Amino acid sequence: MARPRLHGLKQVPRKNANGIVVRVDWYHRATGKHVGTDEAEAKRRADELDGDVKAAPLPTSTFEGLAAAYLTSDAFRRLAAKAQGLNRLYVGKLVKRFANSNVADITRPVVVAFRESLSKEIAAAPRREPGEKKPWLKKGEEGPMTPTVAKGLVNKLCITLQHGVDLGVLPANPALKAKANFGVRPRKEVWEPEQIERFIEHAPPRLKVAAGLLFYTAQRPSDVMVMDWGTFVRKDDGKLWVDLIDQSKTGELVRVPVHKRLSVILRDAPTRSGLLVPSPKAGDEWEYRNFARAWDGAMKKAGLADLGLQRRDLRRTAMVRMAESGATDAQIAAVSGHSIEQTRRILDTYIPRRGEVAAGAIAAWEDMLDARDIRQAEQAHASALHQNIAAEVGLTPDQVARVLEIAGAHSAR
């Protein structure tokens, strides 16, 4: 039977050469101090240390203290659960790097030097060959530095230091607007309609539903994975809606009407209750890494594996398609859950470089000019007609126009 975990305490079994546990050392998690080998005594001493920690919190003038203050702040608590987890992870990494630093000593040059050190770590990291799996890491072991992790560290450093500004510890944020792309360009891949159809054609039933939900609701993969049949609500107008999607990253609640093509896909869903995209074996929530493997297999089967397309691109593809169809920024934001400002930035990245959009713009321009030319021709013809009639009956062209206008009004009656 597994030993229940005691919160605040960490146990470390000590074994002899034969692998037999000879004693257990207990450590206080918050301070890292050894609190003995007897469980009851360790618990008592841990309670005392907890009281000392609460009574004497770390000063926010140190980076470690500021980080602790941020992780207990209202701003942090308002984040969605997934965002809290990511922030806590990155802030923990930062604490290790700035453990002995005073906040006042973290100046702009220090931030720039930190960013440059991350770039060097990325350059020194071993490169994986295409198709090579990530190496297994032991608990607590960090993998090689990647551009994504480096960008996250700089971003969370900025957030933590901004909390210092809010508390009055810092006069300004030295990490504000620190460039942190590390050579990674924003993704611009958009799925073409025939590529989506090909994937749905070759994918197993669960992945067909997943693809339909990702595209036709414009939601994140993590949110699609926890959607269930209970989220569907039929409104008074008879329209079926996916109601109250609690977005894991932002905590926003989103209501999305069900696209009629998604309705067709859902008719062939493998389940009629519970999760929409359940695990094939247990029927409960599909572990994301297993879902990702299944998705990659379906991409390969559909002949799409080498095109650089990702499942997360379906969300932005949906936003592009809505914009191409004439939807406003506010309408698109209401579906995807982005702010209107974020929506504009996304569309600004994707839409201007699409040839079909440019062709549509030129066609609309041409139609406008053609319509204007027709109106001008009609006006010129009417003016010439009025002048001819005026010359024959001895009236001015304006008088002729007025007579014709009155005659037209009477005939319309």
Residue type, 340: I
Is 70 exceeded by the pLDDT of residue 396? yes
Mean pLDDT of the chain: 82
Give the tens place of pLDDT for each residue, 86-96.
899 999 999 99
| pLDDT for res 358 | 67
Q: How far apart are CA 330 and CA 340, in angstroms?
A: 6
Contact indicator for 176, 158 with CB cutoff of 8 Å: yes
Which amino acid is it at 297? G
Determine the pLDDT at residue 254: 79
Report DSSP state, residue 392: H
Order of strands, edge to edge, in the sheet holding 21-28?
9-15, 21-28, 34-36
- Residue whose C-alpha is closest to residue 246's, from 263, 225, 266, 264: 225
What is the pLDDT, as a whole number, of residue 183?
72
Structural tokens at position 164: 């210092």
Q: What DSSP state is assigned to residue 228?
A: B
User: What are 108-165's pLDDT values in tens digits?
Assistant: 999 999 999 999 999 888 876 655 666 665 656 677 888 889 999 999 999 999 999 9
pLDDT in tens, 20-79: 878 888 887 766 778 888 888 888 888 777 765 555 567 889 999 999 999 989 988 888
The answer to whether residues 403 and 395 touch, using CB atoms and an 8 Å cutoff, is yes
Taking only the tens place, the pLDDT of each residue in 165-178 is 999 999 999 999 88
pTM: 0.60
**pLDDT tens digits for 248-262?**
566 667 788 889 899
